[in-house]
Structure 1
Amino acid sequence: MTTPVFKEGEQASPKPADHEARPHADRVPGRDQTRLEPTERGWLQPVRFGLVGVAAAWVVPVATHQVGLDVLLPVLVWVGTASLLRAGRTLIDRLVIAFAVLSGVVSLASLLFSVWPWGLEPVPVAGTALTTLVLVAVVTGRRPRLPARIDPSDVVLAGVSALAAVLLLRPLASGPTSALKVLALGEDAARHFGIYDNIYRNGGLLAFHQSEMAVPLQAGFATYPQGAHVTFALINNFVHSSSSYGTSLTHLHNFALLYALSLALSIACVMWAARWVGGQRLRGWLFLPVAAIVTGFLFFGDGIPIFTHGFVSEVAVFGPFALLIAMLSRPLSDPREQIVTAAALLCTVSMTYYLFLLSTSVAVVIWAIGYRRQLLRHWRWALGAILVGGPVALFAPLVNLRQASSVEQLTREGGVEPMNGLLLTGLLAAVLAGLVGRRTARRSPAWRMMLVWVATNVAYAAALFVATIGHPTRYYYEKSLHELLLVLLVGAGATVLLAQEAIRVPKRRGRRWLAGLAPSAIAAVVLLVGAIFFAGPTAANTGFRHPPNGRSWGESYVRDLNNFADPANAIVTTYNRAPDSDGYVTVLYVNGRYDAMTSYNGTLWLSVLYNNHGRAWRVTLWLLPTPTKSQAELEQFIRDSPHPVRFVTNAPLVSQAVERVRQTDPGIRVEVVPITYP
């Protein structure tokens, strides 16, 4: 007789103290958390609370806006949401679960922001959010309450996340040039910035402004999934207490900083997800090796090339996707909160990067079958989640239906750094050993569900591998390996627990705390040192994008060894000399170091800075496969261009071609701006 994926109250061992296999690790003994707290006696007190709360929900945003401190409002909404939830044993747990709920709320609210008259203005957005929290408190009878408990693993999680944020921000922090030194050669980053900048300019999702996007964006990008971009724009408005500030270079710098923070947040979410799935046994110093594994792969290993290649939506979805894996593997104690949180995360994944839904949908169906009793018991909540979350989750694939429905899209080529297959294979073997080799894992509903996630994503990657045979880059196959990596990192706790069982640490009275810290700390240090030396590309020094001297990706990033200052300086210098396109299509055409990528990527970046990428994207294609053109090719390009052309160049050949064209067509609009380039 088969056992369902997980069953309410099932335990992995007869020891009641072992919470590893309990599906609700956040349940507090002796308290029924599945019941909402009773409302205050009488009807007057809730009404009074509601009126005062709604008034404060609007007074506070108006006040912070007047003094330029709107940046406090997202924190207030986040903490307020956490205070009305009841799942989670520690403060970090509660805050992470609140983030998961809010991510889905932003996905839903972005549709509202796109059609109401205030766009992403801080005051109406925050006022509406705080009012919603007050109404939820009145209807449910819950009052703000946060757990005070802090676990040693919370300190590790917060510390590692903060350190990752600092290290990721450091190479980008000084200004637009420093940001472009890291991102200039990631052409996807340029297109993502164009989407973000136009969401900022229009105050909502670009699917509602498609007719206005013909000039700013290349066709098709107005309907690209924009969950990350609208979130960045919203946070940016709160930080600056305004929806109008600065130049395009200022917007670019802020976008780069938010992008780096999104990777740090994703690292934090993956670490938390691994701990949540591991249950009580990972809530302590045993979490140290897990944090080291996650950080080793996502910071020192393949996470950095994903970041520098400019895969903005993918980096932003890593965190919500990891949280979805964790909460479907080990559900929250309150089924209603579980249903709401799972629906919110599904909406976030879809609105941010719906490619991850292809394999996720299989795991979600299996989870729903195993969780069917709770779903049926709380059918009103399940129905509400479907009626509200369903349209939100379908929005991005439907508005992008031409691309989403194309099977050929999954076999398209593109620039992507191949994963370190050796490390990924080793991690897969280690996680499978932990999931299959331990009796408690085989009996645990949470670990069995993790095995479902691993099997589903291995099958998905294998299918794309077969589908992309004969394609040189296997773009989406590599993306499927990124997804598999996240699943394995969330399940990394199984490997650590297997090693802990194999190497028993003797417990001595009075030294139990130290006995747990020392071996975990040693293992974490060994793993991180190994990542620094071995988490780089499999074939070192085979490309100018690779870390020098066989270093890891993360070390090269922190030491700023793999930056591209020449292209970045050329882009910023060009923009500063001519901050307005004046109707021209600008072509950065240089001879010198990195000339091929500078001309192509530089022209691309300038088009999004000038907000005319819809006109200029064909010019970037003309520069490929090499920017070195003959005089005849240059003359033909100038004559055939449907738009006036401005060349920014250090090549005398361009000036000669322009003069030849002017002799035969004196009225043609073409300019040559000289530039110094190494």
Structure 2
Amino acid sequence: MRIGLVGVIAAWAVPVATHLVGFDVVLPVLVWVGTASLLRAGRTLLDRLMIAFAVLSGGVSLAALLFSVWPWGLEPVPVAGTALTTLVLIAVITGRRPKLPARIDPSDVVLAGASILAAVLVLRPLAPSPTAALKVLALGEDAARHFGIYDNIYRTGGLLAFHQSEMAVPLQSGFATYPQGAHFTFVLVNNFVHSGSSYGTPLTRLHNFALLYGLTLALSIACVMWAARWVGGQRLRGWAFLPVAAIVTGFLFFGDGIPIFTHGFVSEIAAFGPFALLIAVLARPLSDPREQIVTAAALLCTVSMTYYLFLLSTSVVVVIWAIGYRRHLLRYWRWTLGAILVGGPVALFAPLINLRQANSVTQLTRDGGVQPMNVVLLTVLLAAVLLGLVIRRTARSSPAWRMMLVWVVTSVAYAAALFAATTGGATRYYYEKSLHELLMVLLVGAGATVMLVPGAIRAPKRRRQRWLAGLAPSAVAAAALLVGAIFFGGPTGHGFRYPPNGRSWGESYARDLNNFVAPAKAIVATYDKLPHNDGYVTVLYVNGRYDALTTYNGTLWLSVLYNNHGRAWRDTLWVLPTPTKSQAELEQFIRDSPDPVRFVTNAPLVSAAVAHVRQTDPSVRVEVVPITYP
């Protein structure tokens, strides 16, 4: 009892102390390590940290509901104090004392090294400034809307579903109830980094958002690699993991992961990691059934709060897993019941609060802006994984690999169903999203491809031998796979948004070739030049390089930076499908607009239209601000 009291006091004293010196950034790490120290699953330190991350992700999903309604918002001290107190109470109730494994495997080194390298490569183009971030993100219109959600969670201090009446002006209708697990976590992390919930301008917050988004992609790559290793079990320990790591990074950095990132699919990128971890723990459950139940429930909550589209097919696999795991679920029925009573409402929150969209069949058949995947590479990966799962006796006799086969078959069936339902769309938006989900499943099961090579996964029993055994052939195979990804990981088509060097997405991104500097500079220059809260809706209307992209995406980005997208979204759509409008169309738009309009433009036609409207109706509030544009 005395230890618990001391622990609770320390749980609040530490956050207060770090806050006084402005070093709250250490608190999330302390909570993460503390969670890991109370778990017992996992052979290595990295295993334990990954499982702790899975549990914490669900904890944040649950806490998001609490933090959105309590009086302290997302202030670091009460958030960290509550989290650390919870860990102390768990330790007292369970009788567990902090303990971490010291074991490190060669595959841990591979995973950590590849993840750090991915983080460096992803962050490098984003890091210098808000303009640098925008030149990457300006391509994807979705990134602007996600930033709008993030920035308003920062302003309100909680999930926007609890502040819908305040969101009429800042956000387009429907976005206040969009799944916000990723956005909420970004704000929470930023508050710890800045030791407070009040910092920066919209442009600096945009830069922070972009950096966290980049780190999320790197974290997702790490989670997928770990999930692939966990499913492979002992057979993928040691250097045999190298080719698997190369496959994961090849697809997610050099291949289709980068266009998913640059198109601004923030929630999807954030869901990749927890989704991969969920695949892994359902395929190969943790050694302690109680920890398995808690971890699986936590990851289901995280996926639902972040991107519940992935739950449509996942629910089938969860039911199959629950049937196979029923003895443990019944034996530990109190834990099962607790997971249902606590995790159920959290997992249902995002779909239910967004029921109008979530319950719409037409939503799954709508078209949208998405980069078609390289189906040739995806088919090759699918064939290799299926061969490994079906041909090798080792896979057929393993419960983990049999469960992976269930995941693959279910994901293929889901993608096929969406393909059949969306034949009218040119890009089949949600069909492509189902292929993203299938890709995650195949990458987690990528260890099955290694099983096709006889003798490649016979890890020595002695630890010292394992550090050297198979290093040379595994390194050669990994290098060959990465070189192949660099040369063949690009798109199957051509266009101004594609890698200009004709190779992979990742190479183009790392070399900062496929960026949009002109739109980014125009957006930042406009934002810096004009007043922010004077009631005007700003339309960035330019003629020149990337004029269509700049006019549409630029107007969209300005509306979220000015925090008036709820009013401006109709003006943003008006510029489509092309910024080349007639003078009569421009004049009609000015007269019909319910809000005063400010054109930032280099087009003489716009100035002529504004001048004519002013002559015929002097009461119309409209302005023209000249801009220099390439």
**TM-score scaled by structure 1?**
0.91
Partner of 1:218: 172
Tell me how far 1:181 sits from its aligned partner.
0.4
Q: Say whether residues 1:254 and 2:208 are aligned partners.
A: yes
Partner of 1:298: 252
Q: 1:112 pairs with 58, 66, 74, which one?
A: 66
Tell me how far 1:506 sits from its aligned partner.
12
Tell me how far 1:667 sits from its aligned partner.
2.5
Tell me how far 1:251 sits from its aligned partner.
0.7
Distance in 2, matches of 1:363 and 1:657, equals 59
Partner of 2:608: 656
Q: Say whether residues 1:230 and 2:168 are aligned partners.
A: no
Distance in 1, matches of 2:459 and 2:184, equals 49
Q: Is the 8 A contact 2:415 2:434 kept in 1?
A: yes
SS of alignment partner, residue 550 of structure 1: coil
Matches within 5 A, 1:64-103: 64-103=18-57
Partner of 1:533: 487
Partner of 1:333: 287
SS of alignment partner, residue 215 of structure 1: coil
Say if 1:118 and 1:499 are closer, same or farther in 2 by CA, change over 3 A: same
Q: Is the 8 A contact 1:583 1:644 kept in 2?
A: yes
Partner of 1:191: 145
Partner of 2:455: 501
Q: Is the 8 A contact 2:106 2:467 kept in 1?
A: no
Matches within 5 A, 1:454-465: 454-465=408-419
Amino acid at match of 1:436: V
Q: Say whether residues 1:570 and 2:522 are aligned partners.
A: yes
Distance in 2, matches of 1:239 and 1:519, equals 43
Q: Is the 8 A contact 2:72 2:78 kept in 1?
A: yes
Matches within 5 A, 1:386-401: 386-401=340-355
Distance in 2, matches of 1:506 and 1:347, equals 39
Tell me how far 1:501 sits from its aligned partner.
3.2
Amino acid at match of 1:327: V
SS of alignment partner, residue 124 of structure 2: helix
Post-superposition Cα deviations, 1:314-346, rounded to whole Å, max 9, x if no partner, equal: 000000000000000000000000000000000
Partner of 2:624: 672
SS of alignment partner, residue 544 of structure 2: coil
Q: Is the 8 A contact 2:422 2:428 kept in 1?
A: yes
Amino acid at match of 1:658: V
Distance in 1, matches of 2:163 and 2:467, equals 59
Q: Is the 8 A contact 2:614 2:620 kept in 1?
A: yes
SS of alignment partner, residue 313 of structure 2: helix
Q: Say whether residues 1:445 and 2:404 are aligned partners.
A: no
Partner of 2:592: 640
Say if 1:66 and 1:180 are closer, same or farther in 2 by CA, change over 3 A: same
Distance in 2, matches of 1:143 and 1:182, equals 46
Distance in 2, matches of 1:507 and 1:256, equals 45
Say if 1:280 and 1:505 are closer, same or farther in 2 by CA, change over 3 A: closer
Tell me how far 1:514 sits from its aligned partner.
3.9
Q: 1:157 pairs with 101, 111, 121, which one?
A: 111
Q: Is the 8 A contact 1:289 1:521 kept in 2?
A: yes
Q: Is the 8 A contact 2:235 2:458 kept in 1?
A: no
Tell me how far 1:111 sits from its aligned partner.
0.2
Q: 2:542 pairs with 562, 583, 590, which one?
A: 590
Moved over 2 A (4+): 500-508, 510-515
What is the identity percentage for the equivalent residue pairs of Structure 1 and Structure 2?
86
Q: How many residues align?
A: 629
Q: Is the 8 A contact 1:223 1:400 kept in 2?
A: yes
- Please list every run of 5 or more consecutive structure 2 residues that lacks an aligned counterpart in the other structure: none
Matches within 5 A, 1:240-639: 240-501=194-455, 514-539=468-493, 542-639=494-591
Tell me how far 1:505 sits from its aligned partner.
11
Distance in 2, matches of 1:505 and 1:206, equals 50
Distance in 1, matches of 2:570 and 2:51, equals 45
Q: Is the 8 A contact 2:68 2:158 kept in 1?
A: yes
Distance in 1, matches of 2:460 and 2:233, equals 22
Amino acid at match of 2:305: M
Distance in 2, matches of 1:338 and 1:251, equals 37
Amino acid at match of 1:162: I
- Please list every run of 5 or more consecutive structure 1 residues that lacks an aligned counterpart in the other structure: 1-46
Amino acid at match of 1:75: V
Say if 1:518 and 1:116 are closer, same or farther in 2 by CA, change over 3 A: same
Distance in 2, matches of 1:543 and 1:311, equals 20
What is the aligned-residue RMSD (CA, Å)?
A: 1.5
Amino acid at match of 2:71: P
Distance in 1, matches of 2:303 and 2:143, equals 19
Post-superposition Cα deviations, 1:250-275, rounded to whole Å, max 9, x if no partner, equal: 01000000000000000000000000
Distance in 1, matches of 2:225 and 2:242, equals 10
Say if 1:511 and 1:474 are closer, same or farther in 2 by CA, change over 3 A: same
Post-superposition Cα deviations, 1:33-57, rounded to whole Å, max 9, x if no partner, equal: xxxxxxxxxxxxxx11111010011
**TM-score scaled by structure 2?**
0.98
Post-superposition Cα deviations, 1:15-43, rounded to whole Å, max 9, x if no partner, equal: xxxxxxxxxxxxxxxxxxxxxxxxxxxxx
Distance in 1, matches of 2:343 and 2:320, equals 19
Distance in 1, matches of 2:4 and 2:52, equals 21
SS of alignment partner, residue 416 of structure 1: coil
Q: Is the 8 A contact 2:255 2:485 kept in 1?
A: yes
Q: Is the 8 A contact 1:507 1:515 kept in 2?
A: no
Q: Is the 8 A contact 1:536 1:553 kept in 2?
A: yes
SS of alignment partner, residue 676 of structure 1: coil
Distance in 1, matches of 2:497 and 2:583, equals 31
Q: Say whether residues 1:136 and 2:107 are aligned partners.
A: no
Distance in 2, matches of 1:337 and 1:617, equals 46
Amino acid at match of 1:435: L
Distance in 2, matches of 1:636 and 1:363, equals 54
Tell me how far 1:581 sits from its aligned partner.
3.8
Distance in 2, matches of 1:352 and 1:90, equals 28
Q: Is the 8 A contact 2:408 2:442 kept in 1?
A: yes
Tell me how far 1:507 sits from its aligned partner.
13
SS of alignment partner, residue 100 of structure 2: coil
Distance in 2, matches of 1:60 and 1:133, equals 14
